[in-house]
Structure 1
Amino acid sequence: MDSCPMHVAMRQQRLITALAIHGPRPRSYLVGLLWPESRESRALESLRVSMHLVSRQVPGLLVNGGPELSLSDLVDVDLHRVRSCVRELSQTGLNGNAASSLNLLRDAELLPGWYDDWVLFEQSRLRQDRLHAFHIIARESLARCDFEVALEASEAALELEPLYESAVGLLIRAQRHQGNNAAALRAFETYRAKLHDDMGLAPSEDIRRLVADVL
């Protein structure tokens, strides 16, 4: 496949996206996923039309042989790289370039503006994976005294989940190690205010202890 942008209609996009996310799948799976409210005969016809249009507009993209439908092995799926990065971080920790992992994960937003139930599920799953990965990067970078990376990773986690207490703690610790007590106090106050406004709660003793001497 070349690298030229290809433009296809939304129905074809949904089929391509489903195969990119889920990999090879039987036609029965795809019609249930993409047209859950349609009669089976109508859904199968919609799938056949979508397959025909994709094959005509992007020759070679679909592999339509055997019991399953799939994308060509030549297709590079960004989501697979992100999940591979998360899996490696979970299994072996931060062994590679932290900056490259951060760059890959920070911009890994899945299909913004899509609201199909199956897409929303995958968006939520990816969000949790990214949170987990950012936490690993921040925690291990802090342990290695790489405070700038720890700060960036914890901030990235908090962009996804502002009430993620563990990330708040890592952010405050990184800022304090850098000698930036004012920033650490701001981070604490921001967290305390949002926690109170959203949930009516106060920060834990562990978080308060991190800034007790500058409050």
Structure 2
Amino acid sequence: MFPTSASAAAVAGSGPIRLRLIGDFDVLAGSQALPVRRCGQKLLAFLAITRGSVGRPTLAGTLWPESPGARAAANLRASISRLPRPGGRQLVRSNGSRLALAEDVRVDLHEASDLITSPDAQRDPPPENWYADLLPFWEEDWVLLERERFRQSRLHALEHSSQQLREQRRFGEALQAALRALAGEPLRESAHRLVIEAHLAEGNAAEALRQYHQYRALLRTELGIAPSGEIRQLVRPLLERPED
């Protein structure tokens, strides 16, 4: 059984409210995790992903697509009423026929997305929340679309960060950022190229060649193709180096 809104508020107090969507779903009031039913999780996640107000009919129809309009609307009302209210605060605000997250609910997806486009993303090592997918075990269509958008933004930002860090001669951090991008998509040639470039910048020819051969074997196994001429050009001087 889930605790009532009143008991959740008593436990959580009045700490800052955080909604986590990167990795596992979680709602925190201060350090206290709040229990949220599955329907409430979907409601909060959709409002966070939309990042604005949504009309009640659109919201009900999206979250309960197989239910008739009246039933979907009733499900929406029930989901809102069952949300926890930490410190008596609402997680969702209503403006007539439209709903949105309460203004004091902080969302990790918003923070990560904003940081990706900020000047800090060009200077500093990537934060931890760039390394996981959005709600990785959810299969709703609206989650899948946002997951891929965030994944592509994250991979491009990691690669850009790797390039910037390498130019600053922060080779270890540049390598880690490139490897994180590679973990997000093992067949991504641009990430393999950045790993090789980081090794070469440090003078680690053997590591660069090892990365190239691993990528070539992966491409042959998975896709039956060879690496592009661009990445081969990076290691060509090493492959053609005469023996002592």
Scaled by the length of structure 1, the TM-score of the pair is 0.89
Tell me, in whole angstroms, the C-alpha distance in 2 between the residues paired with 1:185 and 1:15: 49
- Within the candidate set 56, 60, 70, 1:31 is matched to 60
* Alignment gaps of 5+ in structure 2: 1-13, 16-29, 240-244
Count residues with an aligned counterpart.
Answer: 209
Q: Is the 8 A contact 2:34 2:84 kept in 1?
A: no
Residue 155 (structure 1) aligns with: 179
Structure 1 or 2: more helix by fraction: 1
**1:174/1:55 CA distance change after superposition, 3 Å:** closer
Tell me, in whole angstroms, the C-alpha distance in 2 between the residues paired with 1:51 and 1:74: 17
Q: Is the 8 A contact 1:55 1:62 kept in 2?
A: no
Tell me, in whole angstroms, the C-alpha distance in 1 between the residues paired with 2:188 and 2:42: 33
Tell me, in whole angstroms, the C-alpha distance in 2 between the residues paired with 1:104 and 1:113: 17
Deviates more, 1:143-152 or 1:199-208: 143-152
Tell me, in whole angstroms, the C-alpha distance in 2 between the residues paired with 1:102 and 1:8: 27
Paired residues for 1:130-209 under 5 Å: 130-209=154-233
Percent of residue pairs identical: 38
Residue 60 (structure 1) aligns with: 90
Tell me, in whole angstroms, the C-alpha distance in 2 between the residues paired with 1:148 and 1:102: 15
- Greater relative contact order (Cα 8 A, min sep 6): structure 1 or 2? 2
Scaled by the length of structure 2, the TM-score of the pair is 0.79
Tell me, in whole angstroms, the C-alpha distance in 1 between the residues paired with 2:84 and 2:229: 60
Residue 148 (structure 2) aligns with: 124
Which letter maps to 1:7? P
Deviates more, 1:110-119 or 1:75-84: 110-119
Q: Is the 8 A contact 1:31 1:44 kept in 2?
A: yes
Tell me, in whole angstroms, the C-alpha distance in 1 between the residues paired with 2:128 and 2:205: 27
Q: Indicate yes or no: 2:36 matched with 1:8.
A: yes
Q: For 1:80, what is the secondary structure of its paired residue?
A: helix
Query: Which protein is bigger by CA-based radius of gyration?
Result: 2
Tell me, in whole angstroms, the C-alpha distance in 1 between the residues paired with 2:72 and 2:121: 44
- Within the candidate set 57, 74, 83, 1:45 is matched to 74
Q: Is the 8 A contact 1:102 1:134 kept in 2?
A: no
Structure 1 or 2: more strand by fraction: 2
Paired residues for 1:84-123 under 5 Å: 84-88=114-118, 94-95=122-123, 98-99=124-125, 101-106=126-131, 108-123=132-147
